[in-house]
Amino acid sequence: MMLTFYWYPKCSTCRKAKKWLEEHGIAVNDVHIAEHPPTKDELRELYQKSGLPLKKFFNTSGMRYRELGLKDRISTATDDELLELLASDGMLIKRPIATDGTHVVVGFDEQAYEKIFGQV
């Protein structure tokens, strides 16, 4: 199984997730989320496959999120506007995002990783 793993190497949560994947022998295609953020279409696909609300894709604790005052905008923006925002700046995206093309996990939840990716 080859996962696409969107991450930010300085993020401790991303490093924990990557370590978990390595310990379980899961090959990953690393994508530096700040240097190569997913496109709007890629984000739409990740969002649809994840089953999560789109607001869960935002890095709400990030500086950029606060600078742009997105807390109030998210509730009134359309999905299209939100996807456009996310695609415009990888630092707005909650990380890591791991996908095998069918499943998508946003953030690192060891139980979710075990359930979805631990069947290698």
Alpha carbons 30 and 82: distance in angstroms, whole number: 24
pTM above 0.75, yes or no: yes
Alpha carbons 54 and 103: distance in angstroms, whole number: 16
Domain boundaries of the chain, sorted by first residue: 2-117
What homologous superfamily does CATH list for 2-117? Glutaredoxin (3.40.30.10)
Q: How many residues does the chain have?
A: 120
> What tens digit of pLDDT does each residue of 14-30 get?
999 999 999 999 999 99
Prior bond of 96 cis (ω within 30°)? yes
> What tens digit of pLDDT does each residue of 24-51 get?
999 999 999 999 999 999 999 999 999 9
